[in-house]
Amino acid sequence: MRTKLIAGNWKMHKTVSEAVALIDALYAALPTIASDREVVVCPTFTALSAVAARPRGAIGIGAQNVYPESHGAYTGEISPAMLVDIGCRYVIIGHSERRALFSESDAFIAKKAAAVLAAGMTPIVCVGETKQERESGRAEAVVLGQVAGSLAGLQDRLADVVIAYEPVWAIGTGLTATAADAQTMHAAIRAELRRIGGAAAERVRIQYGGSVKADNVDELMAQPDIDGALVGGAALVAEGFARIANYR
């Protein structure tokens, strides 16, 4: 039985005081969390310490990015140890926005995932096809290629990785994959994980992301290979995110 993971990606939103107000509102809206799930929020770097320092309920803290070196001349970057130091347990890696806007390759994402695991945190490795790739019938090949490339060399640590399947055309657009289409891709991802790491694939949590909202989360979470959600826009409103975290 895989513990579902509901994670909120706050992206480049919220000043420190706004982020603290949001986590406080979330603790109020979500006083308890069911034992079959984990809830995590991923604020911006500037707000991470302040959010992590709030009275802790059961909500975990994650970062949205990391640099895969321990220290050194990497202006503007943040190391895994710095994230551990402030209480981070998760790191989103290879989000489609970083792949597209910052040209992050599968190989670089695999380096980041290895560094996050070595620091004792859990990488949330994002994969997903564009609209054009789906329309040309290449969605599965693209996604499975990203899975294999982004996990290169990590076959022995597979069970400690989270995958987020986020079709790019569904992110921030209000469009969502149907629960059946999402399940089909999640099952294909799990088959690829079996090929890479054998039985450990059954323990890998595969989140769905892309316009997850209160009105579609229940059906998505009912699918056998959907093990949680990575939530963008809807994570910025405490009551809405609490409703998603309380999916049935």
Q: Which residues are catalytic?
A: 95, 166
CB of 45 to ligand PEP, least distance (A): 17
Which of 62, 128, 167, 232 is in the footprint of ligand PEP by CB under 6 A?
232
Closest CB to ligand PEP: residue number: 232
The token duo for 206 is 């595969």
CB of 65 to ligand PEP, least distance (A): 13
Residues 6+ apart with CB under 8 A from 243: 214, 217
Q: Is 60 in the site for ligand PEP (CB under 6 A)?
A: no
Name the residue nearer to ligand PEP (CB basis): 134 or 197.
Answer: 134
The whole-angstrom separation of Cα 41 and Cα 6 is 9
Query: In degrees, to the nearest 5, what angle opens at C-alpha 227 toward C-alphas 192 and 60?
Result: 120
CB of 138 to ligand PEP, least distance (A): 21
Residues 6+ apart with CB under 8 A from 4: 36, 37, 38, 205, 221, 227, 228
Alpha-helical runs (H) found in the chain: 16-29, 45-52, 80-85, 96-101, 106-118, 131-135, 139-150, 179-197, 217-221, 238-245
Would you give the binding string for ligand PEP spanning residues 155-174, x where CB under 6 A is met? -----------x----xx--
The whole-angstrom separation of Cα 210 and Cα 126 is 11
Would you give the binding string for ligand PEP spanning residues 189-218, x where CB under 6 A is met? --------------------xxxx------
Q: Is 63 in the site for ligand PEP (CB under 6 A)?
A: no
Beta strand 90-93 pairing with 162-165: unpaired
Q: Is 230 in the site for ligand PEP (CB under 6 A)?
A: yes
Stretches 142-150, 153-161, 180-188, 225-233: which one binds ligand PEP (CB under 6 A)?
225-233
How many residues interact with ligand PEP (rule CB under 6 A)? 13
From the CB of residue 26, how many other CB atoms can be counted at a distance below 10 Å?
A: 23
Binding site for ligand PEP (CB under 6 A): 9, 166, 171-172, 209-212, 230-234
